[in-house]
Amino acid sequence: MKMALRHAFALAVCAFALFPIVFVLSAAINPLGTLASTDLLPTGFGLGNFADLFGSDVYPFGRWFFNSVFIALTASFASLLLSMFAAYAFSRMRFAGRRAGLLALLLIQMFPQFLAIVTIFMIFTRVTELYPAFGFDTVWGLLLLYLGGALGVNTWLMKGFLDTIPKELDEAATVDGATHAQIFWRVIMPLVTPILAVTALLAFIGTMSEFLMASVFLRDPESKTLAVGMFGMIAGDNRNANFGMFAAGTLLTAIPTVGVFLWLQKYIVSGLTAGAVKG
């Protein structure tokens, strides 16, 4: 009896979790491809929306997909490495300004970065004049911008992980003649790899969904990310007509994330307990 209640509750929550996804699925395979003609359960089956998505002249979806995955992969990998470096210094070394540095990071992180977007816009106007390769409408410029937030977000988290690794390991390595760089790469990094994987996944999801900075930064259709491009896809008058394409794009966007998610599932619970937010 009690078990039945538990199952009933879990099923209800699953229904709540899944019905928007079912709706997206049904919209994506809806042959008519409009919002108005889409029901919760599929009424027909056709891959026309997917074909439209890749055949479209107006919306270079493949290009957006590449841009997004490229930016998200590079930014999450690089920002993780940068914050690992900093966390290693904060966790393992004692130096003047250590406490002040940690506190400063915490404070800077609390300032909503994109409220500085006016200033960022002016800085990058200048950068675009000097170095077009890193200016507006380039993935590299956006990447640099994302790296600016790298330290603030993850350093505290990483420092927490590193603090739990016994110092005796480093000391043993030092006694054996290892340099600080060798300790970092050969001792510390292998120990935190599982947790790194989870944090990288979170950073990946976050960057894939980042909308505001990207929308200010990327205006050329070819340089857009999925978030910016797909927002434009159902903006204004196209909201009803392009909904099927949009839903198809949403499903495709989820594929890499879901795949990595299932793959990392066993690490995710322990990794998440240590911090990081979404939604």
Partner 1 sequence: MAPDVPGAAERAPRPRRNITTAFVVSRIAVLAVAAAILLYAVPPLVAAESWLGLGVLGAATALIGYLYLTPRLVPAKYLVPGTVFLIAFQVVPVVYTVTTAFTNFGDGHRGSKQDAVVAIETGSVRQAPGSPEYALTAALRDGELVFLLVDPDTKQAGLGTAEGLEPLAGARVGVTGKVLSAPGLTVLKAPEAAARAKEISALSVPTPGGAIKANGLSRAVEGRAALVYDAACDCVRGEGGPWTADESQGYFVNAAGDHLAQGWQVGVGLDNFARVLTNPTISGYFAGVFGWNVVFALASVAGTFALGMSVALALHHPRMRGTKIYRIAIVLPYAMPAFAMLMVWRDMFNRDFGLINQLFGLDVDWLGEPLTARLAVILVNLWLGFPYMFLVTTGALQAIPRELTEAASIDGATPWKGFRKVTLPLLLVALTPLLISSFAFNFNNFNAIALTTDGGPFPAENPQVGATDLLITYTFRLAFGAGGAQFGFAAAVSVFIFAIVAIISATAFRRTRKQEEVYA
Alpha-carbon distance 176 to 154, whole Å?
31
Chain position carrying tokens 């950068």: 127
Q: Which two tokens stand for residue 145?
A: 């911008």
User: Is residue 96 a contact partner of residue 164, using CB atoms and an 8 Å limit?
Assistant: no
CB of 29 to partner 1, least distance (A): 15
CB of 39 to partner 1, least distance (A): 7
Alpha-carbon distance 55 to 58, whole Å?
9
119 vs 220, beta carbon nearer partner 1: 119
Alpha helices in the chain (DSSP H): 2-28, 48-55, 61-92, 98-110, 117-130, 139-148, 150-164, 167-175, 180-182, 189-209, 212-217, 226-233, 238-241, 243-263, 265-273
163 vs 222, beta carbon nearer partner 1: 163
CB of 220 to partner 1, least distance (A): 19
97 vs 220, beta carbon nearer partner 1: 97
Q: Which two tokens stand for residue 250?
A: 């949403």
CB of 141 to partner 1, least distance (A): 10
CB of 222 to partner 1, least distance (A): 20
